Structure 1
Amino acid sequence: MSSARVPTTLRRHDEALARFGGFATSYVDAMWVGDPLADAFVADLAALGHGRGMRMLRRACQSGIEAVPDAPDSLRALFAQLDADPPWLDRTTITHDSRYVARYTRQAGIVLGAASLVSGYANSAASRPLEMTGRYVENAGARTVEVASWLQAVNEPDGLDRFSPGFELTVRVRVIHALVRADLRRRPDWDESAWGVPICQAYLAYTLVEFALIPVRSMRQVGAPYLPHEEAASYARWRYLGHLLGIDEALLPRGAAEQERLESIYLLTRPPVDDYCRALVASINTDFLVPEIEQLVPSPLHRWAPTVVQAMERLFLGDEIADELAIPRTRLVAVVRRLGPALGLGNALLDRAVFTLPWRARRGRRYQEQQDARLRRDWGVQHDLVDASPGGGRPHPARGDVDGQVGSGPG
C-alpha cells in the first residue's frame, strides 16, 4: 500500500512524508487497518452470542485454547498469535529490572492522568470512539479506575506471564477495541474518510508512547526518575504488550528512539483538537485529578489543587497543546519545573542506597492497594474492565448491549 488515502482531518501530511519517508507511508496506511485477528473473532460473536463468545475468550486466557473444544477458527487463530512468544521477548529481564519501580507509585498515578491520558485527548479522531460510546465524560473516574486496574496488573512482577491476570486483561482490552471498532463502523455517524478506521493501528501504536515514553519523561520532570535499566525494561514491557494488543510489527517500537519517532509523527499530523477533546480534559481534571491532588495535600491547600493540575499538564504537554485543550495558563508551571530537578536529585541520591529500594517498593505497593480500594469505593467500581461492568447505564458494545447485539445468537 501507499499513502494514496489520507484521512481528511490529518494535518501536514506532505511534511510528514518529507521528514519520515517510508515510515510516514506505513503510519498513514495504518489508519485504514484495525486488528484482523480480533476483528474476525468479534464478527463471529453474532453467531456465537456475545456472552458465550466472551466466556470462551476468558477460558482460553485462563486455561489455554485447548480448554475450549468448540472454539471457532477465529478464536484459535487469535490465540495462535498470542501464544507464540516473539523471539525478542525476555520476560525474566523485564521482571528483574522493574521490580522496584513501585517506589514511585504516588507520582506515577498523577502522571497517568495528567500526562499519559491527557496527551491522547489532543487528537479529535483518536478521541472520537470515547465520545461516541459515551464512556468518559459521563464517568471519568470509573474509566480511569479501569485503565489503572489493567496497568497495575501488567506491571506486577508476573504480569506478563501467559496465565497471569495481566495477560487476560490485555487480551480483553484488545477484544474490547475490536467490539468498539465493529460497532462504530456500522454507525452512519462514523466518518471514516475523515478519521480512518476506529481505533486504527496508527493510533493504537501511539498508546505505547502514552504508557512508556511519556511516563518515563514525565517522571523525570516531577523528580521521580527511574534508573536506566528500569527505563529499558519499561520499553521492553510495552513492546510485548503492543504485540499482545495486536499492533503490527512495522509500527511496534523497539525502544526509546522508535517511540520518539512515533510521537513526533503523531504530534505533527494529529487532527485538530475539538470541543469534545476539551470536555475530556475538563472531565478528568474535575472528577479525578483534582480530587487526587487533594488527597496528597493538607485541606487548607485544597483550593490550589486545580492550579497544580493545570501546571503539571502544561509542563507535561507543552504550551501549544495545553492552549488547544483550553488548560489555563498559570505561573505555577515555573515552580513545578524548578521543583522537579531538586526532588529528582534527592531521589537519585536515595536510589544509590540500594538497600532502600525493596522497602520503598513495598511501601509503594501498599499505597497502591489502598488507593485502588479507595477509588473503587468512591466511584462504586467493582469490575475490572468495561466488558464486565454492570448494565443499566448507557449501552456499550463491550457488554453486548448495543442496539442489535443484545441476545444475538445462542447465549
Structure 2
Amino acid sequence: MTTGQVPRTVPTSLRRVDEARRRFGAFAETYLAAMGAGDPLADAFVADFPALGHGRAMRMLRTACREGVDAVPDAPDSLRALFARLDEVPAWLDTATIDRDSRHTSRYSRASGIVLGAASLVSGYANSAASRPLELTGRYVENAGARTIEVGSWLLAVNRPDGLTRYSDGFELTVRVRVIHALVRADLQRRPEWDAAAWGVPICQAYLGYTLVEFTLIPLRAMRRIGAPYLPHEEAAASARWRYLGHLLGIEDALLPRNAAEQERLEEIYLLTRPPVDDYCRALVASINREFLVPEIQGVLPRRLGRQAPRVVHALERLFLGDEIADELAIPPTRLTRVLAAGGPVLTALHHTLDRIPATLEPRTRKGKAYEVEQEQRLRRDWNVRHDLVDASPAGGRPHPARGD
C-alpha cells in the first residue's frame, strides 16, 4: 500500500452512497475511491522529513519555489519528483487571459471578504470528516482569526496580477499549502484517534477537489445572491485560476473540474454523501462568526445598527447554505434572510448598470484594492499575526505538524 492510501473501501461516515452510485455512475466510483487517496508526490517528500530535519526540508522547499529545484543542494529525489510535476505548465493554462479578465474584480472586495467566511469556509464545516483535521490540530476554534488571515493572505497573493507565475509569492504559498496538507496527513495517520475506516485518508483527494468548489462555484453564486455579480468573463477567469491552483495543490485530473458543470457535479455528490454535522462543526461556525464575521459586519453597518451584526451574519449564512445545512449547523433562523434575498436583485440591477459604464470600473477597483490592504493590515494588527501560513507561525500554544513541533 503506497503512502497516503487506505484500502479502497467506502468510509463508513458517508451517507446515501447507493443513491450516489445510481445518480453519478462512474464518477461516483472515482469520487468514492478518492476518499482513500492522498497526494503521493507531496506525501513522499514529507516522508523524507525525519531524515532531512523539518527545518531543513522546509528551507529546501522554499528555495525550490523561489529559485528552482536545481538550486537546492542535495535535493532528495522526492523533492525533485514533486517539482517535476509542479514545473509542468498545463496546455490549458493562459495566465495572461486570467489576469486580463480579473483586473476589475477587486471592486467587490468588501463583499467578497464576507462571502469568503459566510459561504466558502462555512460550507466546508458541514462535514464532520473533512473538518476533523482542523479539530485534531486545533487550528480553528482556538484561533479562528489567525487561520482566517492565513487563508485571506494566500488568496490575495494568488489573485494579484502575475500571482500564478512560476516564481511568484502566490506559487510559493500554494505549494506550501500543499506540503502543509501532507504534513497534517502524515501526522494524523500516525494517531490512534484517526479513524480511517470512518473518515478515509486525512485531507483526501475527494475533499481536496471540493475546495475548488468552495473557492469558485460557491462564492460566485453567493456574490450573485447578494447583488454583487461578476461579469461572465470574470467568472470564467476565476474558474480557470482555480483549475490551475488545484493542479498545484496536487488534485488528481479526474477530480479537477474543468468548468462550472463539473464543479456543480462535484458539489452535488459531496453534499449528497457528506458525513453528518457534529458538535465540532457547530463550534467551528460559532468561532468564525464570533471572531471574524460579526466584527466584519459591524464594521460595515452604521454604528447604531452594530448590535444587529449577528442577525445579519446568520441571514447571510442561511441565504448561502440553505435551511437544511444551516439547521444542522445550528445557525439561528431570521426573517432578515428574506430581506437580503429580496434586495439581491435590486443591487444586481444597480451594479449591472454601473458595470456597463467602463469609466466606473477603474475607480471602483482602486477603492476595492485600498480596502483589501487596509483590511489585511487591520486584521493582522488586531490579531497580532505577522506570519503568512501556519508553517511560519510562532511556536507556543498547541503544537502543529506544519511547524515540526
- Whole-Å Cα distance in 1 between the matches of residues 338 and 307 of structure 2? 19
| Residue in structure 2 matching 1:6, options 10, 19, 24 | 10
Q: CA deviation at 1:4?
A: 5.9
What is the match of residue 21 of structure 1? 25
Cα deviation per residue 1:254-306 (whole Å; 9 max; x = unaligned)?
01000000000000000000000000000000111000000111221111000
1:137-286 matched pairs, under 5 angstroms: 137-286=141-290
Query: Aligned partners of 2:344, 2:404: CA distance in 1, in Å?
Result: 45
Give a deviation string over 1:191-229, Cα, whole Å, max 9, x none: 000000000000000000000000110000111000000
Tell me whether 1:49 sits opposite 2:88 in the alignment. Answer: no
The one of 306, 311, 336 aligned to 1:332: 336
Which of residues 351, 354, 360 in structure 2 aligns to 1:356? 360
Offset at residue 234 of structure 1 (A): 0.5
Three-state SS of the structure 2 residue aligned to 1:250 is: helix
Aligned residues: 400
In the alignment, the residues of structure 1 paired with residue 73 and residue 389 of structure 2 have an alpha-carbon distance, to the nearest angstrom, of: 26
Q: 1:134 aligns with which of 132, 138, 141?
A: 138
- C-alpha distance in 2, partners of 1:169/1:383? 12
Structure 1 gap ranges (5+) = 402-411
Are 2:86 and 1:120 equivalent residues in the alignment? no
Contact between 2:8 and 2:36, CA under 8 Å: does it hold in 1? no
C-alpha deviations, 1:292-344, integer Å up to 9, x for none? 00011122111100000000000000000000000000000000001111111
CA distance in 1, matches of 2:271, 2:132: 17
CA distance in 2, matches of 1:359, 1:58: 36
Once the two structures are superposed, the pairs formed by residues 25-44 of structure 1 within 5 Å of their partners are: 25-44=29-48
Residue from 103, 107, 124 that aligns with 1:99:
103
Residues 349-388 of structure 1: CA deviation (Å, up to 9, x unaligned): 0000012111211110111000000000000100000000
Match of 1:370 among 374, 378, 389: 374
- Measured after TM superposition, the shift of residue 180 of structure 1 is 0.2
- SS across alignment from 2:379: helix
Letter in 1 for 2:36: W
- Percent identity at matched positions? 74
Q: CA RMSD in A?
A: 1.0
Q: Which residue of structure 1 aligns with residue 75 of structure 2?
A: 71
| 1:408 corresponding residue in structure 2 | none
5+ residue gaps, structure 2, are none
| Superposed CA offset, 1:229-273 (max 9, x none) | 000000000000000000000110001000000000000000000
In 2, Cα distance between equivalents of 1:331 and 1:53: 53
Query: Do the aligned partners of residues 84 and 4 (structure 1) sit closer, same or farther apart at CA in structure 2, a change above 3 Å counting?
Result: closer
Partner Cα distance (1:90, 1:295) in 2: 37
1:33-84 deviations in Å (ceiling 9; x for gaps): 0000000000000000000000000000001111113110000000000001
2:130 paired with 1:109: no
* Aligned residue type for 1:30: A
Q: Which of 307, 313, 325 is the matching residue for 2:311? A: 307
What amino acid is the match of 2:115? Answer: V
* Counterparts of 1:280 and 1:327, CA distance in 2: 12
TM-score by length of 2: 0.98
Match of 1:384 in 2: 388
More divergent stretch after superposition (116-125 vs 340-349): 340-349
The structure 1 segments of at least 4 consecutive aligned residues displaced by more than 6 Å after TM superposition are none
- Partners of 1:82 and 1:330 in 2: how far apart? 46
Q: What letter is aligned with 2:186?
A: A
- Report the counterpart of residue 344 of structure 1 in structure 2: 348
